[in-house]
Structure 1
C-alpha cells in the first residue's frame, strides 16, 4: 500500500523585522555640529534665512526634489536639560504646540513607537508620522550635551488612516548644550517628505517662519514647564 503523505506543516507566522536603532556615531555626529554653527561657505549647504537669532541652512536632495535643513540658534534662559525634558514630554507638547492633532507613544513588539498627527491648513490633508526616537545625555570632553534622534519606521500594527497622508521618510536630530550663561545652544537637523502636492509657498513658510516660531514657542514652554509638572 502506498504510504500516506504527512500533513503539510502549519504556515509560519510572518514576524515583522526588528525596528532600527541609532548608533553611537549618530549621536556623536550631532554633538560635533555644535562646534561648527555654519556650514562651510561655498559648500552645498545654502543659508536660507536668519531670523530671531536663528540661522537656517538647506541642502537640495536630488532624489526627492526636497530640501534637508540645518538650524543653529539659541534659547535664552532655558537650561539644556530643561529643553530636553520639554522636547521629550509628549503630553506637555500637546498643550503648547498648536499643530498637534494627535500624539502618543505605544509599545509594538517591545519597542516604543510614537504616533503623531500634524494639522495642515485647509484644503490640504493632515499628515501623520510613525517614528522612533532616543534621547541621550552625552559627555564630550567634559561638556554635557543632550542629543535626541528620531526617524520614521514602518509598523504594520499602525496602518495608514483614510484622509491622512503618512510621512514615510522623516529624520531629525537635535543637540543642546549650555551657552555658558542661563540658556542653551541648539542645533537641529530635519528632513521629511510630506507626500502629496504641497505648494511651494507652504514649504518655504515652514522653513523660514515655522522653525523660528517653533523655537520661540518652545522657549515659552520651557518657562511654563515647572508650573505644569
Structure 2
C-alpha cells in the first residue's frame, strides 16, 4: 500500500476548478492562446508566479490524456526536455526523479516528486485528477552541476469536453533556483505551456498503448 501524500480535499479542490475557476483577487489573465487561458498570481516570497491553466485539448480523450501524462517511459520519447526520468522505490512508496535540459549556459534542473492519480465518478461525471509535489528522498541525492528544484507543485483535472477531447484544468508552480532573471522565467512560462500542450496532443495521437475500442 503506497503512502497517501494528498488529501481528499486537495483532489476535490482540483476537479472543482473545472466548474468554478478560482481566479478572483490578485489572479490576472497572463495569456490566451489555442483555446487555453493562462492566469498567474505573484508569489511575494519567491518573486515568481503561480499559474492556472484552463481550456481544452481537442482530439485527446480524458482517460487517454491521463494515461499519457502518467507514462514516464513514453514521456522520454515525446518530451524533448527530458534528460533523465525514472522511478525510485523506498519502503512501500515511490518517488520520481526527473532531470530537465536547460539551454546553455544555464545548468540543468532536477526534480524529485511524488504524485497520485484518482479516477473519479462525481454524480455520473468521470473526472481524472493527478496531483504532484516535491519530496525529499535519499535515493535521489543532489548532484554537482545540476540545480535541485524545490517547491514544485502541480495539479491536473480532466474530463470529457462532450466531444472527442478533454476539458482541462492545470495548476503549476516551481522555483527553478539559480540566477535566472524573472523575465526569462516568465517568458518560458508564456511560450512553454502552449508548446507543452501541443506536444501533449501529438503524444495522445501517437500513444502506443492506446486502447482500441471495438
TM-score, with structure 2 as normaliser: 0.93
- Check if 1:62 corresponds to 2:44: yes
- Check if 1:24 corresponds to 2:4: no
| Larger CA Rg, structure 1 vs 2 | 1
Partner of 1:162: 144
Unpaired segments ≥5 residues, structure 2? none
Aligned residues of 1:31 and 1:175 also touching (Cα < 8 A): yes
Deviations 1:153-205 (A, max 9, x none): 01122210000000011000000000001100010001111111112332122
Relative to 1, partners in 2 of residues 1:38 and 1:49: Cα closer, same or farther, differing over 3 Å? farther
Q: CA deviation at 1:206?
A: 1.9
- The 1-side partners of 2:39 and 2:144 are apart by 34
Deviations 1:12-71 (A, max 9, x none): xxxxxx97611011001001000124723xx21000000111110000111111110000
Q: What aligned pairs does 1:112-191 form with structure 2 within 5 A after superposition? A: 112-191=94-173
- The 2-side partners of 1:158 and 1:208 are apart by 30
- The 1-side partners of 2:22 and 2:29 are apart by 9
- Check if 1:35 corresponds to 2:19: yes
List structure 1 runs of 4+ shifted beyond 3 angstroms: 226-229
TM-score, with structure 1 as normaliser: 0.87
Unpaired segments ≥5 residues, structure 1? 1-17
